[in-house]
C-alpha cells in the first residue's frame, strides 16, 4: 500500500482488507459533485414552504448523508419541504457532474473483478435516475436508497443490505463516504470505512470520526483494491 496516497487516520478497529471483493460507495460528494444543486434545491424548497429569510443550508450541510426527512426532523423544519426539494433536484440533475476520475475508477475496479454498489442518503429512484443520466448505472450491481431500508444512515442497515445483495462479508468490503454518517454506518456494519476528501466535506469532523483510510482523490482507492484473487491464482 502506498502510504503517500493512503493516509491512515485514527480508526475504530476495523481492518482494511488486503484484497477486498466489493466496494460500497456513498453518492453525493463521493461519486457526484451535487453540492451546488443541493443548495439551490434546498433554497427553493425553503422559500416555497417556510417563506422569507435565509435558508439554513449550512446547517443542512452538516447532516448530509442522512435521509432528507430525517434531516428535516433534526432541523425542526416542515417535512413538506421534501416535495419541492425532490422536484428541483430532478429538474436540476443535468447540472450534476461526476467527479473527475470517477468513471475511470469504476471501470478499473470492475476490470479487477470487484463488485460495486451504492448506498446513499437519496431515495433509490432518484439515485438510480441520476446515475443512469450520467451513464454509469450499469457499472453498479445495486444502487440502494435510504427509502429502501428500515433505518437509514447512520444505522448500519443500508451497508448490511448492500453486502447481502452483493454476497460478500463485512470483512471483504470497503465503504467509501464523505460524511460522518457514512463512516458510522460502515463501522456499525463491521466494514472498513474510507473517507473521501475530494468534495465539499468537513474534513476535521470526518477525520475525528475515525476512518480506517483517507483518500484525497478518487484514483487513490485503487491502491486499496488490487485485482480479486481467483481460485487459479
Q: Out of 2, 26, 76, 182, pick the active-site residue.
A: 26
Model confidence at 19: pLDDT above 70: yes
Residue 180 lies in a domain: yes
Beta bridge partners, 209, equal none
Is 26 among the catalytic positions? yes
Same domain assignment for residues 163 and 132: yes
Residue 220, domain extent: 22-32+97-224
- Of the residues 28, 157, 178, 212, which is catalytic? 28
Spatial contact of 218 and 99, defined as CB atoms under 8 Å apart: yes
Name every residue whose Cβ is closer than 8 Å to that of residue 102 and which is 6 or more positions away in sequence. Answer: 31, 32, 136, 218
CATH number at residue 190: 3.40.50.1000
Residue 137 cell numbers, joined:
448505472
Instruction: Give residue-wise pLDDT tens across range 173-199.
Output: 999 999 999 999 999 999 999 999 999
* Rg for the chain, CA atoms, rounded: 17
pLDDT given at position 15:
85
- Count of domains observed in the chain: 2
pLDDT band for position 25 (50/70/90)?
A: very high
Candidates 148, 229, 228, 216; CA nearest to 7 is 216
What pLDDT, on the 0 to 100 scale, is given for residue 5? 42
Statement: residue 142 has pLDDT above 80: yes
Q: Inform me whether the pLDDT recorded for 119 exceeds 50.
A: yes
pLDDT band at 6 (very low <50, low <70, confident <90, very high): very low
The residues, ordered by sequence, that sit 6+ positions from 126 with a Cβ below 8 Å of its Cβ are: 86, 89, 90, 145
C-alpha 127 chain-centroid distance: 11
Which of 174, 191, 226, 183 shows the shortest CA–CA distance to 29? 183
Backbone phi, then psi, for 66, in 5-degree steps?
-85, 165
How confident is the prediction for the chain on average, in pLDDT?
A: 92
Residues 217 and 149 in one domain: yes
- Name, of 25-29, 61-65, 226-230, the range with top average pLDDT: 25-29
Residue with more model confidence, 47 or 5? 47
Kindly indicate the confidence band of residue 3, based on its pLDDT and cuts at 50, 70 and 90: very low
Same domain? 143 vs 182: yes
CA 205 centroid distance within chain: 16
pLDDT value of position 2: 43
Reply yes or no on whether 70 is catalytic: no
Tell which of 60, 76, 95 closes a domain: 95
Asked if the structure places residue 3 within a domain, the reply is no
Q: Which of 48, 71, 95 is the last residue of a domain?
A: 95
As a whole number of angstroms, the distance between CA 161 and CA 139 comes to: 18
Question: Do 102 and 46 fall within a single domain?
Answer: no
**Do residues 160 and 184 both lie within one domain?**
yes
Q: What proportion of the chain, given as a percentage, has pLDDT over 70?
A: 93
**pLDDT tens sequence across 68-93:** 999 999 999 999 999 999 999 999 99
The answer, yes or no, to whether residue 1 has pLDDT greater than 70, is no
Amino acid at each position: 500500500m502506498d502510504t503517500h496516497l493512503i493516509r491512515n487516520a485514527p480508526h475504530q478497529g476495523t481492518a482494511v482488507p488486503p484484497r477486498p471483493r466489493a466496494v460500497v460507495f456513498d453518492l453525493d460528494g463521493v461519486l457526484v459533485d451535487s453540492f451546488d444543486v443541493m443548495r439551490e434545491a434546498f433554497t427553493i424548497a425553503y422559500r416555497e414552504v417556510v417563506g422569507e429569510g435565509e435558508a439554513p443550508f449550512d446547517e443542512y450541510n452538516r447532516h448530509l448523508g442522512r435521509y432528507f426527512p430525517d434531516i428535516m426532523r433534526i432541523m425542526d423544519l416542515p417535512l413538506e419541504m421534501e416535495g419541492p426539494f425532490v422536484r428541483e433536484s430532478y429538474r436540476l440533475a443535468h447540472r450534476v457532474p461526476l467527479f473527475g476520475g470517477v468513471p475511470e475508477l469504476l471501470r478499473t475496479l470492475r476490470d479487477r473483478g470487484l463488485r460495486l454498489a451504492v448506498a446513499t442518503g437519496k431515495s433509490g429512484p432518484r439515485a438510480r435516475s441520476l446515475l443512469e443520466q450520467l451513464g454509469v448505472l450499469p457499472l453498479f450491481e445495486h444502487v440502494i436508497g435510504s427509502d429502501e431500508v428500515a433505518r437509514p444512515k447512520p444505522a448500519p442497515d443500508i451497508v448490511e443490505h448492500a453486502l447481502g445483495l452483493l454476497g460478500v462479508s463485512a470483512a471483504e468490503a470497503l465503504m467509501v463516504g464523505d460524511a460522518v454518517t457514512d463512516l458510522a454506518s460502515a463501522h456499525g456494519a463491521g466494514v472498513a470505512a474510507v473517507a473521501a476528501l475530494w468534495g465539499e466535506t468537513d474534513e476535521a469532523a470526518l477525520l475525528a470520526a475515525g476512518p480506517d483510510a483517507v483518500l484525497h482523490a478518487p484514483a487513490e482507492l485503487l491502491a486499496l483494491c488490487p485485482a480479486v484473487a481467483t481460485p487459479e491464482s
